[in-house]
Amino acid sequence: MVDTSVLNSVSLITGAASGIGRHLAIHASNLGHDVVLIDLDANGLDETKKLCSKAETFCIDVGNYEQIVEVKEALDKKNINVNYLFNNAGIFIEGRSWKTSHEMWNKIISTNLLGITNVLNVFLDQMLNTDIKGHIVNTASMAGVIVGGFLAPYTATKHAVVGLSRSLYEELKETNSNIGVSVLCPGVVQSQIIENERPLLEINQDDLDGDENAKLMKTMLSEGVRNGLEPSMVAEHVFEAIDKEEFWIFTHQEFADTYKEYSQEILDSMNS
C-alpha cells in the first residue's frame, strides 16, 4: 500500500456551490485536503473556493459525461489524483409519476443518478489502481429509503442512489479495496434544494405536475428545509462516518418510526 502520510488527500465534491456540498468542501479543506469543486453555479463555486485553502473549480453539469471526462483530463495535466469522491449534486422535482413529463424524468435521472455513475466511470478505476486509501460518499436522502406521496421523481432517483451505493459497497468489499463507500441519507437540511425555480437548473415550471398535493408537499418541505439542520453539522457527521468506515449515514432519527412501519409492511408480506 502507498504511504499516504506523504501525499495530500484530494476530495472531489459535486454540488459544491451551495448547502451540503459547500460544507463538505469546507470541512475537507479544514482537514487539509485539496478540493476539486464541481457545480453548475459559477458564482456559488467562487464563494466556496474562497472558503477553502486549495481548490480547483469546474463549472459543469454532472449529468454530462464528456464534461466529467474533461475535468479528469484537466486534473491529470496537473498531476492531481483524487482519492475522496463526494457525489452530492442533486435536484428536487415534486410530482406524480405519470404526470412528470418525459423531459423532467430525463433531467432528474441525469443529475441525481447519472451524475454519480459518470463520476464513478471516469474516476474510480484510477483510484483503485493507485492503491491509496480513499472513500466515496453518495448523497441520497431519507427519500431513498422511505416513500412520501407526490414526490415520485425525487423518490425514485434517491432510491436508485441507495441501490447503486450498496452495490458499489459490496463490489469494493469483495475486491478488498482500499476505498470505502457510504451513502448519506439526510432528512431536512438548510439549503436551496427545494427552490427548483432557480434559472440555472433549467427546470421549466410549466413542465412540472401542477397537482395540489404535490405543491403542498413542496411547501411543507420548503418550510422544513428552512428550519432544517445546519449543513456544517451534516459535513461533520459525514467525516466521522468516513473515519468509522460506516456505510449508512443518517442525520435525522425522527424518521425511524416511518421506516419501521414501511419495512414491517414488507416483512409481513414476505412472511404471509
Ligand X SMILES: NC(=O)c1ccc[n+]([C@@H]2O[C@H](COP(=O)([O-])OP(=O)(O)OC[C@H]3O[C@@H](n4cnc5c(N)ncnc54)[C@H](O)[C@@H]3O)[C@@H](O)[C@H]2O)c1
192 lies in the site for ligand X, by CB under 6 A? yes
Count of residues that bind ligand X according to CB under 6 A: 33
CB of 159 to ligand X, least distance (A): 12
Report d(CA 107, CA 94) in Å as an integer: 13
Cα dihedral 81, 138, 204, 220 sign: negative
Instruction: Give the long-range contacts of residues 95-102, CB within 8 A, separation 24 or more.
Output: 95/150, 95/151, 95/152, 95/153, 95/208, 95/209, 95/211, 95/214, 96/150, 96/152, 96/209, 96/211, 96/214, 97/152, 97/153, 97/156, 99/209, 99/211, 100/152, 100/153, 100/208, 100/209, 101/207, 101/208
CB of 91 to ligand X, least distance (A): 5
18 lies in the site for ligand X, by CB under 6 A? yes
Among 26, 71, 164, 193, contact with ligand X (rule: CB under 6 A): 193
CB of 1 to ligand X, least distance (A): 32
Among 11, 57, 118, 139, contact with ligand X (rule: CB under 6 A): 139
Among 34, 56, 61, 209, contact with ligand X (rule: CB under 6 A): 61
191 lies in the site for ligand X, by CB under 6 A? yes
41 lies in the site for ligand X, by CB under 6 A? yes
Which CB atom, from 44 or from 153, has the smaller least distance to ligand X?
A: 44
CB of 38 to ligand X, least distance (A): 6
Which parts of 82-111 interact with ligand X (CB under 6 A)? 88-91, 111
Which CB atom, from 173 or from 226, has the smaller least distance to ligand X?
A: 226
CB of 268 to ligand X, least distance (A): 28
Find where cell 459535513 sits. Answer: 235
Please check whether residue 161 is in contact with residue 113, taking contact to mean a CB–CB distance below 8 angstroms: yes
Query: How many other C-beta atoms lie within 10 A of the C-beta of residue 79?
Result: 6
CB of 15 to ligand X, least distance (A): 3
Piece of 3-11, 35-43, 210-218, 258-266 that binds ligand X (CB under 6 A):
35-43
Question: Using CB under 6 A as the criterion, which residues of the chain lie in contact with ligand X when the complex forms?
Answer: 14-15, 17-21, 38-41, 44, 61-63, 88-91, 111, 115, 139, 141, 186, 188-189, 191-193, 200-201, 225, 228
